Amino acid sequence: MTTKVTSDSMIALWDMLDKKKKERYKKLISKFAGLTKAFAQKNENNNSLPIPFLNSKFQEKLFINIFDANLEDTNNTPFDVSLLINGKVYLIGIKTFDRSAKSQKIQQFKRLDQKCDESNLKAFVEMVAASRNKSIEDNTKEIIEKLRNPDEFSKHVTNKPHRSIYHLLTRYLDENNIPKIQIREFPYDKIDDKKISNVKPNYNKDNHLASISFEDGKHKYRYTMGDNQLLMCFDENPNDPVENLSVSYLEENEIYDFLTKIGGEINDVDESHSWKINIERYSGLNSFFGTAPKNRAQSEQKCIDMLVAQKNNCKIIDLVKEYFAPPPANLNEKEKDVLRAKKVNIRFSIEKEMKSEKYNKDVVDRIKEKIYRPQNEMYISIPNYKIFHKKFPNFFGEGLAKKRNKSDRVFDMILEPYGWELKMLLTQSSGKDDVLGKAIQSYKSQAVLGKWVLESVFKLPPYRPLTEEAMKIKKINGIRLYKKRNNFKVYFKFIWIDDENRPEDYWE
């Protein structure tokens, strides 16, 4: 049974979720916990049954898949997932733990601004609180910016309504020794740094400072010195939205049969294809970094006119002329690569010289627009596209890859897990091939999808190419395109692909 009582009279997030999806979530959670005897160690308390077992990553991934949530647990960020419901962003921390172990890690700090002075523990705790609060604020802003609809990306939507909450699964044996899992919601608050109190040191057996406990009027915290972790006490509150699940444990001889049946229960995907992102320096997701601007002669003259009007710097003008000089005829691929690298170095030299000469920012920006291709120009390549379209001719639409007219190769794509819908184009064809469609891009303007991917998803500064390192930070190195049953639209999702364990729908 659920309740709808919260500290600020808002409806519980759990009550806003789709009923059928909640039933699937509860069912899969209960079934996974039903495998407890496969994982359980000998019960130290001599109870007849062990506490239900749940894997935290399984819970997180199940929540994402069932409720179409977005993974946010990257690079030690405060929030695990986000949800967009009726225009409101829900920032969610997901946890599962034994009901008796109420203190749980909420953040691990890699680096703090100051060392702990044992003579002034409160000052150290206030610094920890400030670091925690800033990370929450930064992560909130980043997520909300990312959830902006690409079609409205130019609009200022930093004040999108949002709410933060913990989604908890606490596990226990009730008074009748029956395994239970309790679904709870818990406030996700920043630390009230103006009400910090009861700051107490805790020492180990060698009399070294092991941790510091403190309160802020709402929650109890503990900071551990050895591993720089901040823990919070998740006290039970009678006003928490609660739903209890009873768990039936499978016997060992039943577990194998169960695992063979569970595979397809949460999958409503009809057709799916995934592949790794191939980072190319001058094309694909880095199209803007290409060194062949359109209207070469016209762009060159406009740059020279701006430079002459400002400072008439001959060195920069010569660099501009060298950059825009047309390539020699009949270059082979290796020679083209060498020339491209040279052009990139010239471009960097132009920017460096303008910076050292302290050119007007407006002039610098306008010249950069000329020496680069459009900043958010982007397309997504389809590996082995000819074979793909021959093998799956109707994936993007019936016979779409064979249609010659551009307007006939348009299809609808849903950006998951946000639900944004874009008009997309199956593009890049030689004109002679019987199979077209080397890539996909947003229809009419590549910048619609490009701006969202480069600036919002990967958080790249202007004119900064996407790199393998940037993808590792975001835990994104692949793409999945899929279609759901009874739905003609194509769904798009960024994913992480493990080379040692590639997904079943992997395409190369």
pLDDT digits (tens, 9 = 90+) for 357-395: 888 888 888 999 898 888 888 899 999 999 999 999 999
Among candidate residues 371, 394, 413, the one where a domain is terminated: 371
pLDDT digits (tens, 9 = 90+) for 391-437: 999 999 998 988 888 889 999 999 887 778 899 999 876 556 667 78
Which pLDDT score, from 0 to 100, does residue 123 have? Answer: 92
In a domain, residue 122? The reply is yes
- 6 domain-assigned: no
Residues 323, 410 share a domain? no
Residue environment code for 11-25, b if the CB has 16+ CB neighbours within 10 A, otherwise e: ebbbeebeeeebebb
Q: What is the C-alpha to C-alpha distance for residues 256 and 89, in angstroms, rounded to an integer?
A: 40
Task: Indicate whether 390 and 352 sit together in one domain.
Answer: no
Name the residue among 232, 113, 246, 92 with its Cα closest to residue 176: 246
Instruction: Report, as an integer, the average pLDDT of 288-307.
Output: 85
Instruction: Tell me the pLDDT band of 260, cut-offs 50, 70 and 90.
Output: low
Residues 114 and 261 in one domain: yes
Sign of the alpha-carbon dihedral angle for 395, 398, 399, 404: negative
Q: Helix (H, G, I), strand (E, B), or coil: what is residue 288?
A: helix
Residues 323, 346: contact at Cβ < 8 Å? yes
Q: pLDDT class for 336, splitting at 50, 70, 90?
A: confident
Statement to judge: residues 403 and 350 lie in one domain: no
How confident is the model over 262-278, as a mean pLDDT? 76
**Is residue 8 in some structural domain?**
no
State whether 355 and 408 are in the same domain: no
Answer positive or negative: Cα dihedral of 94, 96, 99, 103. Answer: negative
Which positions ≥6 away from 22 have C-beta within 8 Å? Answer: 14
Say if residue 27 is in the same domain as residue 113: yes
Structural domain includes residue 3: no
Q: What is the pTM of this model?
A: 0.63
Q: Which residue has the tokens 């768990």?
A: 247
Are residues 332 and 254 part of one domain? no
Residue 42: pLDDT above 60?
no
Cα dihedral 380, 385, 388, 394 sign: positive
CA separation, residue 274 to residues 105, 162, 206, 457 (Å): 34, 32, 54, 18
The answer on pLDDT for 462 being more than 70 is yes
Round to whole Å and give the CA distance between 492 and 508. Answer: 17
C-alpha to C-alpha distance for 491 and 487, rounded to whole angstroms = 10
The pLDDT tens digits of the residues spanning 314-331 come to 889 999 999 999 889 888
Last residue of a domain, one of 371, 402, 422: 371
Distance (Å, rounded) from C-alpha 59 to C-alpha 169? 9
pLDDT above 90: percentage of residues in the chain? 43
Which domain-ending residue is among 344, 371, 398?
371
Task: Determine the structural domain holding residue 346 and report its residue range.
Answer: 291-371
Question: Are residues 125 and 32 part of one domain?
Answer: yes
Residue 57 lies in a domain: yes
3-class secondary structure for 49-107? CCCCCCCHHHHHHHHHHHHCCEECCCCCCCCCEEEEECCEEEEEEEEEEECCCCEEEEE
Relative to beta strand 490-495, strand 162-173 is: unpaired
Residue 477 has what DSSP assignment?
-
Q: Mark whether 96 and 199 lie in a shared domain.
A: yes
Say if 506 falls within a structural domain.
no
Q: Is 188 helix (H, G, I), strand (E, B) or coil?
A: coil
Pairing of strands 103-108, 420-427: unpaired
Higher pLDDT among residues 128 and 40, named by residue = 128
Asked, for residue 1, whether it belongs to a domain, the answer is no
Checking if the pLDDT of 334 tops 50, the result is: yes
Instruction: Say what the pLDDT of residue 9 is.
Output: 41
Angle at 416 between CA 410 and CA 420, to 5 degrees: 60
Asked if pLDDT for residue 224 goes beyond 80, the answer is yes
Residues 23 and 133 in one domain: yes
DSSP H helix total and E strand total for the chain: 13, 18
Torsion, CA 397, CA 401, CA 402, CA 405, rounded to 10: 90
Nearest to 388 by CA among 491, 507, 480: 507
Number of structural domains found in the chain? 3
Q: What is the side-by-side order of every strand in the sheet holding 209-215?
A: 103-108, 229-233, 220-224, 209-215, 197-203
Whole-number mean pLDDT of the chain? 86
Which comes out higher in pLDDT, residue 434 or 480?
480
> Residues 259-273: what's their mean pLDDT?
67
Q: Which of 65-79, 199-213, 275-289, 427-441 has the lowest mean pLDDT?
A: 427-441
497 neighbors 507 (Cβ within 8 angstroms) = no
Q: How far apart are CA 406 and CA 41, in angstroms?
A: 62
* CA atoms within 13 Å, Cβ hemisphere of 307: 25
pLDDT at position 486 is 81
Compute the distance between CA of residue 343 and CA of residue 355 in angstroms, rounded to an integer: 18
Residue 5: inside a domain: no
Q: Which of 210-219, 259-268, 401-410 bottoms out in mean pLDDT, i.e. has the lowest?
A: 259-268
Do the strands 229-233 and 103-108 form a parallel or antiparallel pair, or are they unpaired? Answer: antiparallel
Q: What is the pLDDT of residue 455?
A: 84
Does the structure show a pLDDT above 50 at 3?
no
Mean pLDDT over residues 105-131, rounded?
87
What number is the average pLDDT over the span 279-287? Answer: 86
Residues 191 and 330 in one domain: no
Q: What is the pLDDT of residue 2?
A: 41
Question: Has residue 6 got a pLDDT over 50?
Answer: no
Question: Does pLDDT of 101 surpass 60?
Answer: yes
Q: What is the number of other CB atoms lying within 10 angstroms of the CB of residue 371? A: 21
Cα separations (Å) of 243 from 15, 169, 483, 487? 11, 10, 33, 33
- Mean pLDDT along residues 284-298: 83
Query: In the structure encoding, which two tokens stand for residue 33, read together?
Result: 């916990």
- Indicate the burial class of 3 (C-beta count within 10 angstroms; 0-12, 13-18, 19 or more): middle
Q: Per the structure block, which two tokens stand in for 95?
A: 């946890």
Domain shared by 113 and 127, yes or no: yes
